[in-house]
Amino acid sequence: MDIFFLNIEQKRLTTAVVLVTRQMVVATALEIDKLPKKDLRARARVVIGRNCSAGPGVGIRDYSYHHDYSRSTFKLRPICSPPAALYAQNQSFFAMVLSADCDRSEITIHNMEFVAKEECRTYYRRAQLGFGVYGPGCQAPARFLDYGMYHEWVQRSVQRIGRPAITKLAPNHIVLRRSRSNIQRFGPCDSGEKSSQLYTESVEIQRGSDPMSRLPEGKYYLNLTIISDVEYSCIVLRADYKDKNKDGTPSLRLRRYCAGSGHSSTCFTGVQFIQILFYVEITFGSTLKYSVTAYGRAVKAIDPFRAHKYANRVRNKFPKLLNHKLTKELFKEFLDDASYRWYGKNKMKSREVTGFKSTTTDL
């Protein structure tokens, strides 16, 4: 069990987390949702153990909510006995107890055994299966985290790292994310994701001025290309009618090229970059404004010409060589010097190689 903390001015906001993989922790979504998102990824830390000051800490890359999470949903579950299948498997279970003093990290491990329900009700009064998690601080009430409910979700999140994540916030509002190293994240963009803008474009699309047109709606298609080497923290696609009094909203649908089961996840490979191709289908009934804004972190490529130019300017100069005739005379003097290791070897006999014949053929 670890601690997630965020320093804001003179305050330190903390919550308990559980390490479930080498690089992933599970926390209470309601508490993470309440934290300010400005520079959250840069300032937040996860500390191993209970001591926030001395324990080893690591930064966070990103965070994501469970797809069933909502700010207005609260679910109460009674504490029940373990599943019956666990009794027959004869598995070993352990209980970990932390010290009550938050300044120490003493851990006590107990080997647990399953007992019948009647015996549990008589002596222990209740049974639990999961993690008992401390609250945000030592004085806060503890929480019970049933990790069994989220184990498959954690596995899917790890397997889907690198895949695009699409969120449809409204019929006319779509958010697309794609990261090579972070877990999939859904929902609206926060302030941290929009800190660096890569690209923006807007276009006005007209339905047509023919009053005799019988088509109630028009359709327009736009291509959207994602470069796989770029970290897209958030891509916002939005369409709104130019006339604010117009009833309804345009409809956006994001489709993927090569989306069949027989195709790979990457549809096209360019000369320098791998590209993932989408297209946007817009259904509308009046003149609208369509905009796309991409946020993220671009790849920092090195210009070979500028790199060589800089290296030639700052590197050490080559040493000056003597005249080749003078060097040749000095070499002869070295061969006649008894202290030189090649002394007496100035007359080397050449060996003749016989029995081989070399031929050259032009192809």
Domain limits, the chain: 2-156, 162-297
pLDDT at res. 276:
73
Q: How far apart are CA 234 and CA 40, in angstroms?
A: 16
Three-state DSSP class for residue 62: coil
Question: Which of 325, 222, 323 lies closest to 278 in space, CA to CA?
Answer: 222
Instruction: Name every residue whose Cβ is closer than 8 Å to that of residue 91 and which is 6 or more positions away in sequence.
Output: none
pLDDT at res. 106:
58
pLDDT at res. 75:
58
Question: Which of 247, 251, 256, 234 lies closest to 290 in space, CA to CA?
Answer: 251
pLDDT at res. 350:
41
Place of tokens 């979700």: 153
Instruction: Evaluate the CA torsion angle 265, 269, 275, 277 in order and state its sign.
Output: negative
CB distance 152 to 264 below 8 Å: no
Instruction: Evaluate the CA torsion angle 10, 15, 19, 20 in order and state its sign.
Output: negative
pLDDT at res. 270:
47
CB distance 185 to 40 below 8 Å: no
pLDDT at res. 107:
60
Q: How far apart are CA 235 and CA 162, in angstroms?
A: 15
Instruction: Name every residue whose Cβ is closer than 8 Å to that of residue 216 and which is 6 or more positions away in sequence.
Output: 285
pLDDT at res. 306:
78
Please state whether the predicted TM-score (pTM) of the whole model is above 0.85: no
Over the chain (363 residues), the average pLDDT of each successive run of 10 is 66 78 82 81 78 68 83 60 62 61 59 66 52 51 67 86 88 89 85 86 78 63 81 91 85 75 48 70 88 80 73 67 72 68 53 43 39
Instruction: Evaluate the CA torsion angle 109, 115, 118, 123 in order and state its sign.
Output: negative
Three-state DSSP class for residue 20: strand
Burial 269-285 (b: 16+ CB within 10 A, else e): eeeeeeebbbebebebb
Dihedral class, residue 173 (left if φ above 0, else alpha if ψ from -120 to 50, else beta): beta
pLDDT at res. 290:
92
pLDDT at res. 236:
94
Q: How far apart are CA 38 and CA 44, in angstroms?
A: 10
